[in-house]
Amino acid sequence: MIEANLKVYRYDPQTAQEPHYDTYEVKELPDFATVLDALIKVREDIDGTLAMRCSCRSAVCGSCAFRVNGHAKLGCKTKVSTLAPDGEEICVEPMGNMKVIKDLVTEMDIFWDKLKQVKPWIETVGEPPEREYQVPAAKMVELQQPMNCIMCGACVSDCTVLEEDSKFLAPAALAKAYRVVGDPRHGKTKEWLTDLSEEGGIWDCTRCLECVEVCPKDVAPMDQIIKLREQAIEEGLTDNIGAKHVLHFTESVAHTGVLDERMLPIKAAGWGWAVKNAGIAIKATLKGKIKPLLPGSHPSVTEVQDVRRIHEELEEGKRK
Amino acid sequence: MIEYDVLVIGGGLAGMSAALHAGEVGASVAMVSKVYPTRSHSAAAQGGINAALGIEDSWEVHAYETVKGSDFLGDQDAIEILCRDGIQDVFALEHWGVIFDRNEEGNIHMRGFGGTDKSRTCHVGDMTGQTILHVMYERLLRMNVKSYDEWFVTTLLMEEGACCGAVAMDITSGKLEVFKAKAVIICTGGCGRVYEPSTNGLIVTGDGLSLAYRVGALLMDMEMVQYHPTTLPANGFLITEGARGEGAYLLNSEGERFMQEERYGATTLEEKASRDVVSRAETIEIQEGRGIDGCVLLDCRHIKDRILEAFHQISELAIDYAGVDITQDPLPIRPGMHYMMGGIKTDIDGRCYRHNGDGSEPLPGLYSAGEAACVSAHGANRLGGNSLLDCVTFGRKAGVHAAEYASSINSPNISEAVIEVEEQKIVDLFARSTNERAPALRLEMGEIMHTFTGVFREEAGLLEAERRIHAVRERYPEVSVHDKGRVFNTDLLAVLELDFMFDCAETIIASALARKESRGAHTRTDYPERDDENWLKHVAVYHTPDGPAVTYLPVTITKWQPEARQY
């Protein structure tokens, strides 16, 4: 038997303006008890006013994502003994990036709205076959990773881009988008990728890795976003800052063996942007922070032939 | 007042299937669910969905094995539909985007499951339910079906003998609303939480069974409660039958594969026999002293590669809750309450029935599908892989029929005043200052049910269960609500759900007392034999002020006459 010392975020809009924290000593928990088990015991035996969502207790329904010690976790997949081997206090708060309804219950509308925005269904083209579509076994297995998402919202809670930009589609919806775009039965790949390349879409992820870190089902949303980017470029959807950034990066390295950072923003955002921001560039040049943009100011590295050869081989590999 | 042609209560697989198809037929349709639909318990189904797609298989073989699995209590007209028409439903799921595992040719891969030596269980790793549920949900989004998420239905509404809607509470605000509908389809799943332990999620509280029962619907086969052979002792979690389907062994404390013993009647299929057969054998082994701390062992060591390939979920569960790496060591497991074969009696179109004279008649406007319903495709014991199929196929049929029925009748007449009755109930609950708590009463109920209405039953124990459940229910008026607010009050929901669960417990006991024979999941130690002469019939119960009253309904037999059941 173990104990859990919980510090739980409490907020009741009907009686209080501000949230507060309550602490609970939960005794006589089984050794394998999870944070959710401890919270259920609070609700059942100590304080019936605590509101939270939960159902399956085995990480398939996706109800019980909370912030535990500052990071989004599934309550039912987080063991008390791992988190607090010596009875340390465990802080449980509602998910971030969402409005709190009561205690640990957040408004999930933002999650479902974004999901709807990516059109999370496949559109087949033509009459379906009489039986199943024949598709490669490996492809279906690959799609299990994004399909494994239980829509708990943990990645949306801790997404650092969404914190700054409410338009960002956020990791869960984008991972789901790959589940659709990556499906060989889906007939409208380019249409979907075009929408996903808009502002708030695949190019707005800063690759901070937070979603990969917090996902309780190893969906690795960021990896799915990267796959979408690769596919978008393959489809020729390169008329946006994100894709141009990637293309110039590659081009610059392949050509000279080293990235020309001065040209990166110009190539990505365009000359119009460069003219508008010329003042900053001139100041930086005068202060010696960047080298002036003159012919020959970005020489190739000595082993550039090797870099080009590696690049060629990689491109060749991709074509295969 | 909110108005639709068809109101679907429950947002799991059956509910979604019903809503989708009612919508496709052209009805205005809404789905009401007490959770976000993807939270529904269908998500927990690991192993798969059956369809006889193989060249060495046929729907007739599937149907026969389902009939045999049901211990000949299943209604064969329903079973034929399930196994024949279900094939197209599985293809439809595939066309909608379910990422079924494939074989080398790129066709759907099927695995072995219980009660058959064929491989006919289509699957997505061991997350089949979750995948189908999500794909179906995405389909609903595509069709723009209105879904009232986190709404709790407190009562059904009746007008001139027909069901015409429901009162539901928006859990977020606590406000009640009247839903007027020409047809209502109950797809609220089973009642696992009536038992402790159970593989079921905390939301599986039999709401729909009780809602229908209270407006006069017959509940059928309620004595048929399935104990799954492989659940974790720590918390009752499920370990998929797919593991045995792909060759895992069951061992007793002597290291013997006891399923090979003559006396368990499964010398051919061994570990892959029907769930009732395996759960009984395990219980006997444990009772006779060849268990280990109340468990037997599931041995997956020799199928390590398949486990690593296609059983991620159960590998994780075993490590998390039993500390066992199943590729290295055998896993202690035991039978645990898993599924309700019984439910709201329906016909093959999902229509519900009520008691009338000596028989039954349709209850207009009320439909049901999925685990909440009893079309009796599973009879006395369900085959693994048949429940997802049941949800999809009979959800579809109920949706289509309800939509057609709705187009044939006028809008019902109900007054907004019905809300006041429901509102008063809640106000009264808030006013209680007594000391009983819903979770404590539920736990008592669950343990009583597990003790006396589990794998083995007998008259004295069932009467004891009846007496004890009655005594626990008598304390219900003393149950108080600590949370007096209206916003997201889960404390209040627990009290309302508990009331529903008592109905389920009582009807299970009454039905188990009535059936004086052993058949499928219902094993009476005082009546150990199957008795086709007297008991090849359904036990059905209906609500009276004095508790459940029992009546009997015939079993539909089309092709397959009862025979001795050997695996």
CA dist B522 and B508 (Å) reads 11
pLDDT in tens, B38-91: 999 999 998 899 999 999 999 999 999 999 999 999 999 999 999 999 999 999
CA distances from B125 to A140, B254, B308, B367 (A): 10, 32, 10, 33
**Residues B432 and B329 both lie in one domain:** no
Say yes or no to pLDDT of A23 above 90. Answer: yes
Lookup result for tokens 């039978």: B335
Say yes or no to pLDDT of A320 above 80. Answer: no
Residue B524 lies inside a defined structural domain of this protein: yes
- Answer with the one of B293, B310, B335 that is the final residue of a domain: B335
CA distances from A82 to A37, A79, B227 (A): 14, 5, 32
Cβ contact A73:A87 at 8 Å:
no
Say yes or no to pLDDT of A226 above 90. Answer: yes
The residue range of the domain holding B239 is: 233-335
Of all residues in chain B, the one with the smallest CA distance to A136 is B106
Give the CATH number, domain containing residue B256. 3.90.700.10
How buried is residue B231: exposed, middle or buried, by Cβ count under 10 Å (0-12/13-18/19+)? buried
| Domains defined along chain A, listed by start | 2-106 (3.10.20.30), 109-319 (1.10.1060.10)
User: What pTM was computed for the model?
Assistant: 0.96
Residue B76 lies inside a defined structural domain of this protein: no
CA dist A291 and B466 (Å) reads 88
Residue B304 lies inside a defined structural domain of this protein: yes
Cα A141–A146–A151 angle (5° rounding)?
140
Residues whose CB is less than 8 angstroms from the CB of residue B415 and which lie 6 or more positions away in sequence, other chains included = none
Query: pLDDT > 70: what percent of chain A?
Result: 100
Option in A15, A121, A186 nearest B138 (CB):
A121
Whether A52 and chain B come into contact, CB under 8 Å, resolves to: yes
ipTM: 0.95
Q: If contacts are CB pairs under 8 Å, which of residues 71-130 in chain B contact chain A?
A: 91, 94-97, 99-109, 124-125, 127, 129-130
Asked if A12 and B172 come within 8 Å (Cβ–Cβ), the reply is no
Whether B432 and chain A come into contact, CB under 8 Å, resolves to: no
pLDDT in tens, A29-44: 999 999 999 999 999 9
Catalytic residue among B139, B193, B244, B275: B275
Cβ contact B19:B145 at 8 Å:
yes
Question: How far A203 CA sits from the closest chain B CA (Å)?
Answer: 24
Local confidence band at A288 (pLDDT 50, 70, 90 cut-offs) = confident
- Answer with the one of B303, B318, B335 that is the final residue of a domain: B335
Please compute the mean of the pLDDT values over residues A304-312 and round it to a whole number. 92
SS3 of residue B152 by DSSP: strand
From chain A, pick out residues whose CB is under 8 angstroms from the CB of B493: none
pLDDT at position A209, please?
96
Local confidence band at A315 (pLDDT 50, 70, 90 cut-offs) = confident
B275 a catalytic residue: yes
Closest by Cα among B387, B18, B460 to B204: B387
Instruction: Give me the number of domains chain B comprises.
Output: 2
From chain B, pick out residues whose CB is under 8 angstroms from the CB of A143: 99
Residue B431 lies inside a defined structural domain of this protein: yes
Please compute the mean of the pLDDT values over residues A194-211 and round it to a whole number. 96
Residue B469 lies inside a defined structural domain of this protein: yes
Eight-class DSSP state of A44: I
Q: CA-CA-CA-CA torsion for B74, B80, B82, B88, nearest 10 degrees? A: 170
Question: How far B95 CA sits from the closest chain A CA (Å)?
Answer: 7
Residue B391 lies inside a defined structural domain of this protein: no
Cβ contact B422:B154 at 8 Å:
yes
How many helices (H) and strands (E) would you count in chain B?
A: 15, 22
Please give the biggest Cα pair distance in chain B. 68
**Residue B350 φ/ψ region, left for φ over 0, alpha for ψ in the -120 to 50 degree band, beta for the rest:** left
Of all residues in chain A, the one with the smallest CA distance to B198 is A56
- Answer with the one of B335, B365, B386 that is the final residue of a domain: B335
Which residues in chain B land under pLDDT 50?
Answer: none
Residue B481 lies inside a defined structural domain of this protein: yes
Residue B209 lies inside a defined structural domain of this protein: no
SS3 of residue B150 by DSSP: coil
Q: Which of B40, B57, B93, B102 to mutate to test the interface with A (most CBs of A within 10 A)?
A: B102
Give the CATH number, domain containing residue B484. 1.20.58.100
